[in-house]
Structures are given as structure tokens and as C-alpha cells.
């Protein structure tokens, strides 16, 4: 990387080089039987150069030919992408506990044995199909730029995704666990999956209408996707956000506090610097229902004449190879503050309603405007405080600026899920459509 920096600085005004080495092991079980073992070791490099206030970008899997790699970035300058921002000089960053060395010695055999243990606990007690994904990921990241920044971090992950699938479809009750090292899946996680599934195996067809809807951690991303869109510096600059002028105003129920905390190293994946070398920070987005902040990378902070917030990451909504992606404003460490009600208490408080346990078509609706229209996959029907069955072909629709003003209660426990770490949240007066 140092040699590439040396030659790139001679033909560019500013240079940034990002490298990622990644080790992944993925174990999959289908119908409580081992299906696949997949192991990968991959690495790559991204190069951003700036010359005459224009951006060039290239990526490669190796640095065998540095001159050709640099020339690809120079050629991309012809695209005319403007870049007027400065690269940061970050000489030091907070030391976070992001890596457990024991992850290096974790074998696929150990992971397979743990998946077998889970299957042996679940499969005899349910008629549903038990599926499990488990594995480890090790990321080694380094970032250098022409201003003298030289930062690196190692990240370790061990995860399981456990589910019981309903017959005749792809809907399931699921829960994810994630740690920095190998940990056995907790009994309460497996009990939740088993109990919730077994209580809901009867298919029923209730009437639709406005009702209480409990979004589980696994489906909160449907709503949070709209929040991410509206508070991104990109959306503010492109005048797509309906809340661009609402800083300091109440936009959601006071029970909702949403924040991004990259520095929380109790969870795997914590970061002290983003993928542009800007220091990360705890950033409240919505506090007691009040809009507090937008978030920016270097590019959009410069466009809007404000400071970057340390949220420039190489990420896409549904993943992808990060070395092929340029940094954009991203909230990669999103949380919802927990409430004071257990999952069981939330269910007991529902006289008539739906549990949104899975979602289809989360992209449907006008995301920048906050609209959503999703298939519930599955929807669990609750009556008089008890789960009585599951509903096929149900849908929920609304706008987050209406739905998220009607929060009844928030669960007291956080769970890792798509787009963040969330509790279940119970909303009132949500539109639900069923076959009846």
C-alpha cells in the first residue's frame, strides 16, 4: 500500500487507499441436517484519487500491478465526478475491544457440533422444519491517505441464525445471535423460537382493519429503512427528505429513541473510525421522539457546508463486496432504546392484533417519503392477549410519520437484526389487510 501511495501522490492531488482481508466460514443446516460448509479467504483494495477537484475510483483483488491499478483510477476521472472535500488527518483513534483472538482457532467442526446440538433440542419438539445458518467472520481493515492518516482495525464475529419454518411456504419464526467469539446459543433464544412457533401453527383468517401491530426486531428494519433514508445527508442534499426542516421537532412518539453508536464495543463490529478515516461518535438521531441529527460522510458534509459525522461507510442496503463500493452516508451501528415491557407483557396487552414476524417487499412504497406496504410473512394473530395462530397473505401498510407516532410500548431487550440492534415495538392503529 505504501508503494501505491508513493506513485499515486505523484499524479494526484489527494489519495486514499482502503484494504480489506476477510475470512468467512458458513455452515448451513436444512431440516435439522447438515446441508453445506463454505469457507472463503478473500482480500481487496480500493483506491480513491482526487485531481482538479474530480474523483477517480478503482478496486482490485490484489496489488500485483500497481501502475495498472492506478491507471484505472486515473481513467475514471473522465467521468467528471466532482470531489471538493478534504481527506482527514486522523493520527489516533479510540482503542475498542473489537477482536477476540480465540476466533482464529474456531473450527467448522465446533460450529457443526453446535448446530447439531440446537437441532437436537428443537426438532423433536416441533412439527416445523428447523433451519440454521452459523459461522464466523474475521475482517482486517486498513486505511491510509495522502494527508498521513494510517488506521487499522480487526473485527471478529460468530453468529447463528436459527429458524423454524411453517409448512408449505418460506415463512418462519427466527432469531439471530452474534458475538465476538464462539458462544453457545442461549436457551432463551431457542425457547422463544420454539414457543412462538408452536403457539401459532394453526392457520386462521381474521378480519383486517386498523389494529395493534407488534413489529419484532426482525421486521423493524422495514420502518428503520425509511428513517435511514430521511436522515441521510444524501437525502438532505438531494431534497428528498420530508423532515429536512424538522430538526428539534417531534416526529415520532416520545417512547422512541433511535441512535447510532459505532463506539459500543459490547457488540461485535464496533468502529472508532469510518471507512474514510473520520472518527466515529455516538449520534442521537431521534431522542424521545424529537429529531436531533442528520448524518454525513465527507462528500455530503462538504456539499451542505457542515461537518462529517463519521458515518462514511462502504456499505449497501443488501450487502455486497465492500471494496467495490465507494463510501456513502451509512448508519451501520443503529439502536432503538429499549423500554420496560417483556415480550410476554407486550402480547398480553394486545386485545386484537398482529405480530409482524417476517416481511416481504420491504422496498415497496415510497421509501424517501416514509411509506411502506409489506406482506407479513408470517403474521401471527393475537386475541385477548394470546397468540392463536398464523395468517396467510396478510399485509400491513402505512407511513412511518403516522405509525411511529402511535407507540404503545417498547420491549425491554435488544436483539441483533437486519440494519441494527432493536427491541420489539408495539404500535396502535396500523392498517392490516387479510383475505377476509
**Tell me, what's the pLDDT at 315?**
86
**Tell me, what's the pLDDT at 319?**
65
Q: Which three cell numbers stand for residue 357?
A: 414476524
**Tell me, what's the pLDDT at 302?**
96
Task: Label residue 320 exposed, middle or buried (CB < 10 Å: 0-12, 13-18, 19+).
Answer: exposed
> How far is the first Cα of the chain from the last one, in angstroms, to the nearest whole number?
63
CATH 3.30.2290.10 residue ranges of the chain are 2-195
Name the residue among 289, 292, 179 with its Cα closest to residue 281: 292
Instruction: Give the count of beta carbons closer than 10 Å to the beta carbon of residue 165.
Output: 19
Q: In Å, how far are 234, 334, 423 from 371, measured between CA atoms?
A: 19, 20, 21
Give dist(CA 337, CA 346) in Å, integer.
Answer: 16
**Tell me, what's the pLDDT at 341?**
97
pLDDT tens track, the chain, 436 positions: 999 999 999 999 999 999 999 999 999 999 999 999 999 999 999 999 999 999 999 999 989 999 999 999 999 999 989 999 999 999 888 999 999 999 999 999 999 999 999 999 999 999 999 999 999 999 999 999 999 999 999 999 999 999 999 988 789 999 999 999 999 999 999 999 999 999 999 999 999 999 999 999 999 999 999 999 999 999 999 999 999 999 999 999 999 999 999 999 999 999 999 999 999 999 999 999 999 999 999 999 999 999 999 999 998 766 678 899 999 999 999 999 999 999 999 999 999 999 999 999 989 889 999 999 999 989 999 999 999 999 988 999 999 999 999 999 999 999 999 999 999 999 999 999 998 7
**Tell me, what's the pLDDT at 168?**
81
Q: 2-195: which CATH architecture?
A: 2-Layer Sandwich (3.30)
Amino acid at each position: 500500500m505504501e508503494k501505491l501511495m508513493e506513485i499515486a501522490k505523484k499524479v494526484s492531488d489527494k489519495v486514499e487507499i482502503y484494504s480489506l482481508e476477510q475470512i468467512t466460514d458458513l455452515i448451513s443446516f436444512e431440516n435439522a441436517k447438515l446441508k453445506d460448509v463454505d469457507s472463503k479467504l478473500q482480500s481487496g483494495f480500493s483506491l480513491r484519487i482526487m485531481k482538479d477537484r474530480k474523483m477517480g475510483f478503482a478496486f482490485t483483488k490484489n496489488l500485483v500491478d500497481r501502475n495498472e491499478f492506478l491507471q484505472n483510477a486515473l481513467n475514471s476521472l473522465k467521468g467528471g465526478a466532482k470531489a471538493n472535500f478534504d481527506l482527514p488527518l486522523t493520527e489516533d483513534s479510540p482503542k475498542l475491544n473489537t477482536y477476540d483472538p480465540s476466533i482464529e482457532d474456531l473450527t467448522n467442526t465446533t460450529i457443526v457440533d453446535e448446530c447439531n446440538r440446537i437441532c437436537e433440542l428443537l426438532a423433536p419438539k416441533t412439527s416445523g422444519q428447523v433451519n440454521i445458518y452459523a459461522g464466523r467472520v474475521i475482517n482486517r481493515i486498513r486505511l491510509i491517505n495522502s494527508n498521513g492518516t494510517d488506521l487499522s482495525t480487526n473485527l471478529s464475529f460468530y453468529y447463528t441464525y436459527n429458524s423454524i419454518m411453517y409448512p408449505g411456504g418460506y415463512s418462519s419464526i427466527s432469531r439471530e445471535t452474534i458475538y465476538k467469539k464462539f458462544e453457545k446459543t442461549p436457551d432463551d433464544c431457542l425457547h422463544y423460537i420454539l414457543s412462538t412457533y408452536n403457539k401459532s401453527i394453526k392457520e386462521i383468517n381474521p378480519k383486517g382493519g386498523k389494529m395493534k401491530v407488534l413489529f419484532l426486531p426482525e421486521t423493524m428494519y422495514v420502518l428503520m429503512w425509511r428513517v435511514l433514508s430521511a436522515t441521510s445527508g444524501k437525502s438532505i442534499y438531494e431534497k428528498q427528505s420530508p423532515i429536512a426542516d424538522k430538526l428539534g421537532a417531534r416526529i415520532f412518539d416520545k417512547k422512541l429513541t433511535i441512535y447510532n453508536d459505532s463506539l459500543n464495543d459490547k457488540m461485535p463490529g464496533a468502529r472508532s473510525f469510518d471507512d474514510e478515516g473520520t472518527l466515529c461518535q455516538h449520534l442521537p438521531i431521534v431522542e424521545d421522539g424529537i429529531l436531533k441529527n442528520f448524518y454525513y460522510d465527507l462528500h455530503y458534509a462538504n456539499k451542505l457546508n457542515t461537518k462529517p459525522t463519521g458515518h462514511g461507510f462502504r456499505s449497501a442496503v443488501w450487502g455486497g463486496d465492500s471494496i467495490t463500493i465507494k463510501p456513502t452516508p451509512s448508519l451501520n451501528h443503529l439502536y432503538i432504546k429499549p423500554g420496560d415491557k417483556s415480550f410476554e407483557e407486550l402480547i398480553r396487552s394486545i386485545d386484537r392484533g398482529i405480530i409482524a414476524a417476517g416481511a416481504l417487499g420491504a422496498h415497496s412504497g415510497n421509501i424517501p417519503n416514509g411509506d411502506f406496504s409489506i406482506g407479513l410473512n408470517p403474521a401471527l394473530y393475537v386475541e385477548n392477549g394470546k397468540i392463536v395462530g398464523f395468517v396467510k397473505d396478510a399485509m400491513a401498510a402505512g407511513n412511518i410519520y403516522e405509525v411511529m407516532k402511535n407507540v404503545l410500548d417498547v420491549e425491554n431487550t435488544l436483539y441483533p437484526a437486519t440494519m441494527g440492534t432493536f427491541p420489539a415495538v408495539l404500535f396502535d392503529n396500523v392498517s392490516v389487510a387479510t383475505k377476509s
